[in-house]
Amino acid sequence: MDYGKIIHIFDTTLRDGEQAPGCSMNLTEKIAVARQLERLGVDVIEAGFPASSPGDLTAVKAIAQLIKDATVAALCRALKTDIDKAWEALASAVRPRIHIFLATSPIHLRYKLHISPEQMLEQAVAAVSYAKQYCEEVEFSAEDATRSDLDFVAAVFSAVIKAGARIVNIPDTVGYALPQEFAALVSAIKERTENIEHVQLSVHCHNDLGLAVANSLAAIEAGATQVECTINGLGERAGNASLEEIVMGLRVRHNFLHADTAICTEQLYVSSKLVSQVTGVKVQPNKAIVGDNAFLHEAGIHQHGVLANRETYEIMKPESIGIPQQRFVLGKHSGRHAFETHLQSLGMPVDPALLDKIFLQFKELADRKKEVTDSDVTALVMGISGTVSEVTWKLDRWVVNSGSSLSATSAIRLQHKDGRLIEKVSVGDGPIDAAFKSINQIIEKEPVLELYELSAITSGEDAQGQTMVKIAWNKRCWNGRGVSTDIVESSIKAYLAAINALEWEFGSTAD
Ligand code: KIV
Ligand code: ZN
């Protein structure tokens, strides 16, 4: 088959996706997502923004060491200090890429950067030249390109290509463009940029008007060779272009677009599930490609048609994106081998050193629940993996009392990583408040609880409750997620997960 041109997929779930409210991931979760992106076959994994926090630096470093089959990119501003940090993180990557961004639009230059267009151009060229001493592959992004002067963007691209940029990227940073307009912009930039034929032309679309995927496909038709996107369309505000929609758009409409990607589409469903699990951000049921309803046929006339011939109402097969045709039910009689095989089918091969521990927890859960679902299993793996390297405080035991005629009280005992056991008793405005107050006393910090969200991750009376919390301390925020069949316990676990992320970054007061 003639695949036409092959479009490079630059995944930014771990950077732009992670910037979305409530989407931050811990190190173990980022590594699990990076591994899955490699299995999915993306060309580039943007692993983070190392200068933005020590946690990001560590995560990019870890991913750069691990990933062998994809380029690993790190974002940085057009500053020497940021570029140094990006390289510190990327140095061990098999295929490293330094990704520099600087805005070109009048509004950003004037109000955010306080520099003239001439200074911007000079800074962009200096940054690319500086990055080239470290790394052959340097990408330059003209932030807010769609609200910039076209000739200016072309002049900046011509100059950074001369300085050594191998990829130039046109971001629709605020999701403002319309498809025909964006295609015209890409064509014009191709025409007006010197030596553009020797580099890759990339686009990066945000979804503020719901057009990120349409704009990306229009850009491909106009000559873009790389698209930047995220799993489930996660990202700042309304998100980025959804990777699975772009990939399947190209695959299903190959007859029109004459382009394809190297993505293994059978890994799309697992990737979506994994990202949803680790971020706690649910996929809307009617989301294209990976939503729960994407392949459901409700109306009788549709069901009739599909039974006669699936193609009456289906333009792609669920198997082509890896939706399991046979649901494999795990329960208390499942053995270790079946459990391990199931983890692999979910895209979560587990370190053999951890498997025994996870299997034991699975058995305990299976005793409490009739059926252990994929969401339960993912939560279990992430929960355990998350406790391997980054835990300062471990829950040892807890008792919480509450009722209509007494104040809620809690007694919580935590174990510090140095082995000490500390217990505190508190009174609170409800059981969760009391529990969190006990924890605050133990850790000797009082973070602000910015978000608390409780939901059922599976259905039925024995469903597991998932709690998401966001805490703020010292002008920084951390998320935590906890899962249990007991909602007080899931809340305590979520709070502790966020506290452990905080301690990992700042060091424990009790150290
Ligand atoms: O949206 C944007 O402009 C970006 C750049 C950093 C590429 O994310
Ligand atoms: Zn972006």
Mean pLDDT in order along the chain per 10 residues (511 residues): 84 92 79 94 98 93 98 98 98 98 98 98 98 98 98 98 98 98 98 98 98 98 98 94 98 96 95 87 92 80 74 87 75 84 74 82 82 74 55 93 91 94 95 96 93 78 80 79 88 91 67 46
Residue 115 pLDDT? 98
* Ligand 1 atom 6: residue of nearest CA: 101
Residue 343 pLDDT? 82
Q: How far is CA 38 from the centre of its chain?
A: 14
**At what angle are helices 27-40 and 54-66 packed, to 10 degrees?**
40
Q: How far is the CA of 347 from the centre of ligand 2 (A)?
A: 27
What pTM value is reported for the model?
0.81
398 lines ligand 1 (CB under 6 A): no
* Ligand 1 atom 2: residue of nearest CA: 173
Residue 388 pLDDT? 39
Ordered alpha helix ranges (H), 52-202: 54-66, 80-90, 106-107, 117-132, 150-163, 179-192
Nearest ligand 1 atom to the CA of 145 is: 3
The radius of gyration computed from the CA coordinates of the chain, to the nearest angstrom, equals: 24
Return the best residue to mutate from 143, 156, 169 for the ligand 1 pocket (most ligand atoms within 8 A of CB): 143
Residue 389 pLDDT? 46
Q: How far is the CA of 203 from the centre of ligand 1 (A)?
A: 10
| Alpha-carbon distances, residue 339 vs 36, 122, 128, 319, 463 (angstroms) | 19, 57, 49, 22, 20
Nearest ligand 1 atom to the CA of 174 is: 1
157 lines ligand 1 (CB under 6 A): no
173 lines ligand 1 (CB under 6 A): yes
Q: Ligand 2 (ion): which residues have CB within 5 A?
A: 16
| Alpha-carbon distances, residue 501 vs 225, 373, 478 (angstroms) | 38, 27, 7
16 lines ligand 1 (CB under 6 A): yes
Q: How far is the CA of 171 from the centre of ligand 2 (A)?
A: 7
